[in-house]
Amino acid sequence: MDIRAKTVLLAIVAAHLVADFWLQGDDDVVAKKQFRLFAYLKHAVIHAMAAYSFAGLWFVWQIPAVVLVSHPLIDGLKEASLRWLAPRDADGKPVARWKFWTIIVDQALHVAVLAAMVAIFSFFDTISVEPYWSALLGNTLRLKTLVLLSGAIATILAGGVLVGILVQPLLQEIRDAYRSGGITPEQRGLENGGRLIGQLERALILLFILSGQPMGVGFLIAAKSIFRFGELKDNATRMEAEYIIIGTMLSFAWALAVVWLTHWAIAAV
């Protein structure tokens, strides 16, 4: 696979991350779980348009065509696995470890299809012209921009999905405790407060590392610990405090790993 093909592959992988984790709303996710055909078609069209736009090969219609067909099939297999094969927790939802590995396999299959498509097109010389964006921006700048965009999406948005799944058992334990006391968790905080806090944390880590200020992460951890110190002293809220801190550490670990990888990749291209 030559440099042109590798650039196209990176472009459509970045497009995939943008379409899957940025342009897909919560309502779309719910509709796909209910196997609504329109939701799958809408999601597939968005992916195909993103791949076509990011690739910058205006006459290679095969790229959006392959994405349009393959993406909903893989997503359908994922949702079918979660509905009919996954073991269930006390609330009747798929257990966290099954959801986690289902998402990992789902993303790996998407990337494998994209890589196979580009390899085949490269072999048959379908990608024979310089992509529009490479000609406009220069290949090096384009590659660095794609790596940075992919790293940002993986750090801030994809990290939120995976960390949320990993802490699901802890949240279930807290819910069970509240049920026994007649109080629901929703009465204790903002509906999307945890999601927003997590995205801000990962965004700050991204900025700290890429700006060459890794010590800022330490200040972020210290500040978060101070905010939660009072909860740790109060046994009545110890479960919530431990849940928040564990989730925070998972969020930090994911963000640091992805950002360091992004930093290395930007320097390598």
Residue 185 has pLDDT above 60, yes or no: no
- Tell me, yes or no, whether 131 and 49 share the same domain: yes
Among the candidates 136, 155, 190, a domain finishes at 136
pTM value is 0.87
Q: What mean pLDDT is reported for the chain?
A: 87
For residues 262 and 78, give the distance between their C-alpha atoms in angstroms, rounded to a whole number: 27
- For 229-260, b where at least 16 C-beta lie within 10 A, e where not — what string? eebeeeeebebbbbbbbebbebbbebbbebbe
Q: pLDDT band at residue 211, thresholds of 50, 70 and 90?
A: confident
pLDDT in tens, 147-169: 999 999 999 999 999 999 988 88
Q: Name which of 25-39, 77-91, 208-222 the model is least confident about.
A: 208-222
Flag whether 149 is in a domain: no
List 151's β-bridge partners, or say none.
none
Q: Are residues 99 and 210 in the same domain?
A: no
| Domain finish residue from 115, 136, 157 | 136
103 and 175 belong to one structural domain: no
132 and 176 part of one domain: no
Is 80 exceeded by the pLDDT of residue 227?
A: no
Q: What angle do CA 248, 252, 253 make, to 5 degrees?
A: 115
- CB contact set of 60 (below 8 Å; sequence gap of 6+): 121, 126, 127
Query: Do the domain assignments include residue 127?
Result: yes
79's tokens: 């949702």
Q: How confident is the model at residue 192 (pLDDT cuts 50, 70, 90)?
A: low
In this structure, are residues 26 and 58 in contact, taking their beta carbons and an 8 Å threshold? no
Residues 124 and 177 in one domain: no
Do 122 and 178 sit in the same domain of this protein?
no
- When divided into structural domains, the chain yields a total of 2
Domain of 211 in residue numbering reads as 168-268
Mean pLDDT of 17-44: 96
Count of residues in the chain: 269
pLDDT at position 232, please? Answer: 54
Same domain for 173 and 93: no
> Is residue 25 domain-shared with residue 126, that is, in the same domain?
yes
pLDDT at 26 over 60: yes
| 65 found inside a domain | yes
Asked whether residue 8 falls in the same domain as residue 129, the answer is: yes
Classify residue 176 as exposed, middle or buried by CB count within 10 Å of its CB (0-12, 13-18, 19+).
exposed
pLDDT confidence tier of residue 14, bands split at 50, 70 and 90: very high
Query: 195 and 132, same structural domain?
Result: no
- Whether residue 40 is found in the same domain as residue 114: yes
Instruction: Examine residue 150 and state whether it is found in any structural domain, yes or no.
Output: no
pLDDT score for 146: 96
Q: Residue 160: which of 255, 244, 237, 229 has the closest Cα?
A: 255
